[in-house]
Structure 1
Amino acid sequence: MRQDTILRYAHARIPRYTSYPTAPHFGPEVNAAVYARWLGELDPAKPVSLYLHVPFCRTMCWYCGCHTKATRRIDPVDAYAEVLLREIDSVAARCPERLKVSHIHWGGGSPTYLPPERFAELMARIRERFNVLEDAEIAVEVDPRIFSDAMATAFARSGVNRASLGVQTFDEIVQKAVNRIQSVDLVADCLARLRAVGIEAVNLDLLYGLPLQTEVSCRQTVAQILDFAPDRLSVFGYAHVPHMKPHQKMIKDPDLPDARERLAQSDAIAEELTKASYVQIGLDHFARAGDPLAMALDARTLRRNFQGYTTDTANAIIGLGSSAIGWLPQGYVQNTPMTHDWERRVLESWLPIARGYELTPEDRMRRDIIEQLMCFLSVDLEAVSNAHAILVEMPDLSGFEAEGIVSVDGLRITIAPDYRPLARSVAAAFDRRLATSTARHAVAV
């Protein structure tokens, strides 16, 4: 019965709610001048986070939904790093002097495609322009296929203390179907390099819903993953959006699992990880019981942003690099996604903003509600209303209630743990902008 109930909602197109409002609602009204003002208004007493985007990979994985491009030449990657140095200078000059930084996250693409000396140079420039706190978390997304001893050394010297490895699957048939070949031994070697230089905090990323993937192969991958004893895991459903990512057309539609199979794969992974004593966090993360992410869940300090679930409680994220999205107290900003346009604007001393969104008081309230549902599977609407001094309207949840998906006690809403996969669907009830959006979001399950 549970499976049939979930499947009734599975095909709905729902945002992932890593922000609210979501990126399709960003517009040109928030431009470089607005962003410069917002940066200047940051509170110097409060630390911020930095997100740096490196939009290059050696080869293109056909499932990829990120902003990146494949190149075998290192010259454009090196040139990009040179411009990124300039953007760091430009943004820092518009912020309060030596702004405190509590988190740094490198994403892509593949940040590990940067030459090691360039990565070290970029980290050194960040430390020159910002006050990176001693206990700052510095995390990098790692492609195990191109991770070298030299990069491991650069990580250690630059203060990196967390790595996130894209594993996705160890099923060789699926790997061939998505153009990402990496063995268990290759991942083990990458982890050994990281741990040899003192980087013990490791996240591993898995995907389900890939072409030719099965419930059995998902369980087998988890069994192999557990030998690595990762601190955290992210388990994402593959989003097939070839209308947005043309390289996904390389994946044959008949090879994709249907909604019932996707749910079975997701459930199988969750079952194996919880049997291994991992705590399920939000929609798609898992952590060891003593991990800071699990502790943040218990303390209700867990947050959700463009990088997923996080312990980062900074009041602003500054995005650097082409397509990078930032979040400030006043709203969201996104750099231009076209790398050549981003480079031109930075070299002309402009902030390379393409679009953004200025938050209203109601937006902040709804963001709070949606974030709590996505993080904790519950929200106290009365507490949110009091915190924002805005009356919250209770949406019609009777359909969810009738099917046992949610329970409503006064103004407290709780999603039943068995219906965790529908957290996005419940959160969407509070999204006033969804009905007017023309964006084609990923399926709900």
Structure 2
Amino acid sequence: MTDTFSSYAMRNVPRYTSYPTAPHFNAGVTDAIYSDWLGALSPRDSLSLYLHVPYCREMCHYCGCYTKATRQEAPLLSYAKTLGQELELVADHLKTPGQVRHIHWGGGTPSLLPEQSLLDLAGMMRVLFDFSPDIEHAIELDPRYVSASLAETLVTMGVNRASLGVQDFDPTVQVAIGRVQSYDLVKTATERLRHAGLAALNFDLMYGLPEQSLETIRDTVARTVELNPGRIALFGYAHVPWMKKHQRLIDESRLPSAAERLALAEAARADLLSAGYLAIGLDHFARPDDSMAIAEQQGQLRRNFQGYTTDTGDQLIGFGVSSIGKLSQGYVQNMPDVRHWSRAISDGKLPVAKGMALSTDDRLRGSIIEQLMTNHLCDIEETSRLFGTEPADLLPSIDALQELVDQGLVQLNGWTVVIPKRGQSYVRLAAAAFDAYLGGRDAGAGKHSMAV
């Protein structure tokens, strides 16, 4: 790999799970505004629900999520109770909601909630909302805490897809990242889930971790293939110790260089493709018969705060501390600490911390970025006219792509932007050319991870 491509890999750009990105949210979106937005939803607006549980048994060194460690039952019971109150509070603001097509439990480790609490919350959602017959109900799991009883509980509550945080199977890497879990442990977790009837499984893997080598990551991929998950997310580790202080536990001298990091990603990608998985977007892979592969082939792949998704809900409503929702009018983020979140809900207020009302320009650029991130293709002229604007307004962004065009990482065919195969690892750089917030207003409002 040339020095030029190494320098591209090291550039810091957003992951673009939203646009505008979360660092640009502001206090201008209040609980009263959110109430109005919820009340404006109609039966034509299908819904997606995200529930955030900010607790783990212990903190992994690499974690970039909003979570904290607890070994006590009391805070989990209290959190579940308040989460139920928030579900009721939001439902009261929905005058004529549409069907729920997707539910996602994230964290943290949401399955740490007591099993009865999980069942109660799932039952409450069925009472408060109208579920689509083909709803996808997904949850993130720590394989170290998947008991046979939990597997049965998940199926009883309607969960039909689970994501397991594997990251890496190498023992030395696991010690370096504070996440020790053997291959046999992960195998047992998958067997328990499948035995209970939960067959749709995802694995999360990571590259760019300390102590990783081509040999260790290829072994991790081989062991993953043996367990045959339907989907695999291959994320690049984002080392941001200025934002996540526990990442200071990672020895930076043991992190791979930019060239080594890219080599790790390419080796893992090649082995997954050889095993029969299809590449989906920037960092996902799926079996050909998986619904994500089918969605990608049909041009229906989406991208939101959970990454690439088959979620077709028109409106995303977030529950729990720090959760983010996206409605037609804009983004809403909940308060980031349990105490203030709980107090607001107890007072009957929507626990809004900040958000962002979307302008026409935001919607246009967000659509372009999502198309590039999911389809690696965007007709700028057609997309501009859908939003009532002229493509010429985006000429500065087109000009900003020229460096990538010169390197063969982007192709311009008239007004159509194409990301060829050799450029797909760098697609976030192409997306950044359309980000009006990076180089202009609010520049530097947040730091981001490396592009690859």
- TM interval, short-chain normalised: over 0.9
1:235-254 equivalences in 2 (<5 Å): 235-254=234-253
Cα distance in 2, alignment partners of residues 225 and 398 from structure 1: 39
Q: Matches of 1:136 and 1:4 in 2, distance apart?
A: 47
For 1:245 and 1:273, how far apart are their aligned partners in 2? 30
* Number of aligned residues: 444
Which residue of the partner structure matches residue 447 of structure 2? 440
Cα pair 2:42 2:96 within 8 Å, conserved: no
1:221 aligns with 2:225: no
Cα displacement string for residues 201-251 of structure 1 (whole angstroms, at most 9, x for unaligned residues): 110000011111112100000000001111000000100111111111111
- Counterpart position of 2:426: 422
Q: CA deviation at 1:299?
A: 1.3
What is the CA distance between 1:97 and its match in structure 2?
Answer: 4.5
Matching residue's letter, 1:203: N
Aligned partner of 2:122 in structure 1 is 123
Paired with 2:420 and 2:3, the residues of 1 have a C-alpha distance of: 15
Contact 1:6 1:421 in 2 (8 A): no
Contact persistence 1:105–1:140 (CA under 8 A)? yes
CA distance in 1, matches of 2:24, 2:217: 35
Match of 1:84 in 2: 83
Letter matched to residue 287 of structure 2: R
Q: Secondary structure at the match of 1:434?
A: coil
Shift of 1:307: 0.3
Between stretches 233-242 and 399-408, larger displacement belongs to 399-408
Structure 1 position 322, deviation (Å): 0.3
Partner of 1:371: 370
- The one-letter code of the counterpart of 1:79 is S
SS at match of 1:227: helix
Query: Which of these residues, 396, 407, 410, is aligned with residue 414 of structure 2?
Result: 410
Length-normalised TM-score, structure 1: 0.98
Contact 1:98/1:129, CA 8 A, preserved across alignment:
no
Identity among equivalent positions (%) equals 47
Determine the C-alpha separation between the residues in 2 that align with 1:96 and 1:123: 21
Which amino acid letter does the alignment assign opposite residue 194 of structure 1? L
1:351 equivalent in structure 2? 350
Higher alpha-carbon deviation: 426-435 or 40-49 = 40-49
Show the 5 A alignment for 1:107-146: 107-146=106-145
Q: Check whether the contact 1:336–1:353 (CA below 8 A) recurs between aligned residues.
A: yes
SS in structure 2 of the partner of residue 334 of structure 1: strand
Match of residue 29 from structure 1:
28
Q: Is 148-157 or 90-99 further displaced after alignment?
A: 90-99
Whether 1:308 and 2:328 are equivalent positions in the alignment is no
Cα drift, residue 339 of structure 1: 1.1
The answer to whether the 8 A contact 1:6-1:422 is kept is no
TM-score (norm 2): 0.97
**Distance (Å, rounded) in 1 between the aligned partners of 2:20 and 2:168:** 32
CA contact (8 A) 2:55 2:70 kept: yes
> What are the residue-to-residue correspondences of 1:16-95 with 2, within 5 Å?
16-95=15-94
Amino acid at match of 2:448: H
For residue 245 of structure 2, what is the amino acid of its counterpart? P
Q: Deviations over 1:272-309 (max 9, x none)?
A: 00001111011100011121111111111111000000
Task: Answer yes or no: is the 8 Å Cα contact 1:67–1:323 preserved in 2.
Answer: yes
SS of aligned partner of 1:107: strand
- Residue in structure 2 matched with residue 232 of structure 1 by the alignment: 231
Counterpart code for 1:431: D
Cα distance in 2 for residues equivalent to 1:202 and 1:188: 12
Matched AA of 1:162 = R
Residue in structure 2 matched with residue 169 of structure 1 by the alignment:
168
Task: Find the aligned partners of 2:155 and 2:406 in 1 and give their Cα distance.
Answer: 54
User: 2:402 corresponds to which residue?
Assistant: 398
Letter in 2 for 1:413: V
What are the residue-to-residue correspondences of 1:375-394 with 2, within 5 Å? Answer: 375-392=374-391, 393-394=394-395
What's the offset of the Cα at 1:438?
2.3
Report if aligned partners of 2:335, 2:341 keep a CA contact under 8 Å in 1: yes
Aligned-residue offset at 1:110: 0.1
SS in 2 for 1:332: strand
Aligned letter for 1:279?
L
Partners of 1:51 and 1:419 lie apart in 2 by 32
| In 1: Cα distance, 2:51 partner to 2:98 partner | 16
Instruction: Report SS of the residue matched to 2:19.
Output: coil
Secondary structure (helix, strand or coil) at the match of 2:295 reads helix
| 8 Å Cα contact 1:6/1:419 also seen in 2 | no
Say what the alpha-carbon RMSD is for the aligned residues: 1.0
Aligned to 2:10, the other structure's residue is in SS state: coil
Q: Deviations over 1:79-134 (max 9, x none)?
A: 10010010000001001246410000000000111111111111011111101122
Specify the SS of the correspondent of 1:248: helix
Cα distance in 2 for residues equivalent to 1:135 and 1:383: 32
The residue type equivalent to 1:337 in the other structure is P
Determine helix, strand or coil for the equivalent of 2:11: coil
Give the whole-Å Cα distance in 1 for the aligned partners of 2:74 and 2:55. 11
Partner Cα distance (2:320, 2:225) in 1: 34
Q: Distance between the aligned counterparts of 1:76 and 1:281, measured in 2?
A: 38
Structure 2: segments with no counterpart, 5+ residues: none
Q: CA deviation at 1:192?
A: 0.9
How many Å separate the matches in 2 of 1:11 and 1:225? 28
Cα distance in structure 1, aligned partners of 2:112 and 2:371:
36
Secondary structure at 1:134 match in 2: strand
